[in-house]
Amino acid sequence: MAEALFGRDGSRFVPSDYALGPWSPDALHGGPVAALVARAVEACEAPEPVHVARLTVELLRPAPVTPLTVDASVARPGRKVQVVEAVVRAGDVDIAWARALRIRVHPPGAAQGESLPDPAADGPVPGVDPAAPAGPDAGYHAVEPMGAYRAFHTEGAELRFVEGAFATPGPATVWVRLAVPVVEDEEPSPLQRVAGAADFGNGVSSMLDFARYVFINPDLTVYLARPARGEWVALQASTHIGIPGVGLAESRLWDTAGPIGRSAQGLVVERRS
């Protein structure tokens, strides 16, 4: 088994146990799928340096533990704004659709030597400013209520809570770090790290009992004002239950230098049969 979320088999990506999800050992966690999409989006060429300001992944069905392919292309080219579309497939079956918004990084003035401010320089710093969460060094491990097997949430990623816990209903703040690469023999990019971490929002801030309910997200949207720095990504996450069967999880995203963006997930809420 590859010491990564996915091994390589030609153009296919073979999931390892590190990519398994919490609801069943027969399906992948959404985080590894989102990280694989992020990798494909970044591989699409751009005429100038760009930043992925938004990434939306629609998880059409549970991702099976079988080799996956990812196809991505620029659907809307442009010098300032581009849209990239991607499809994840298991054989001939679409598992996920995705769309990313990429924005040119440098305005014309920057190309002429204008000095732009550091977007993290004046923001609250985790572990330092009262307005920010405690840093990952202050975090603690919380026992996962689901999935007593090797999976993304148990061994593929390291989670350090600084507020809340898996078994404690309500908002939570947790730092997440990939414990293994997304693809074997590759260093994960900042976008891949964020995409993998952001899918934890509904799980860490549950309002319902894991033993009695499922609340699976069929989508994930991440907005980023800047690339993440370092290995750790924090989620200040909360879940809201709406009309019967529907929920919403939302997270404020941080790295160890300050705030970086937001993420949101729609939820399908059901009683366990």
* In a domain? residue 114: no
- Structurally, how many domains does the chain consist of? 1
| 225: in domain | yes
Please state the φ and ψ torsions of residue 107, each to the nearest 5 degrees: -70, 165
Specify if 118 maps to a domain. no
In terms of phi and psi (left: phi > 0; alpha: psi -120 to 50; beta: otherwise), the region of 245 is: left
pLDDT at 166: 87
Whether residue 34 is contained in a domain is answered as yes
Residue 111 belongs to a domain: no
Whether 112 is covered by a domain: the verdict is no
CATH number at residue 68: 2.40.160.210
Q: Does the residue 115 lie in any domain?
A: no
The mean pLDDT of the chain is 93
Residue numbers of the domain that contains 251? 6-106+124-271
Measuring CA to CA, which residue among 196, 163, 148, 160 is closest to residue 17? 148
Can you give the pTM of this predicted structure? 0.93
pLDDT of residue 113 exceeding 70, the answer is: no
Band (149; pLDDT cuts 50, 70, 90): confident
Q: Would residue 173 count as lying in a domain?
A: yes
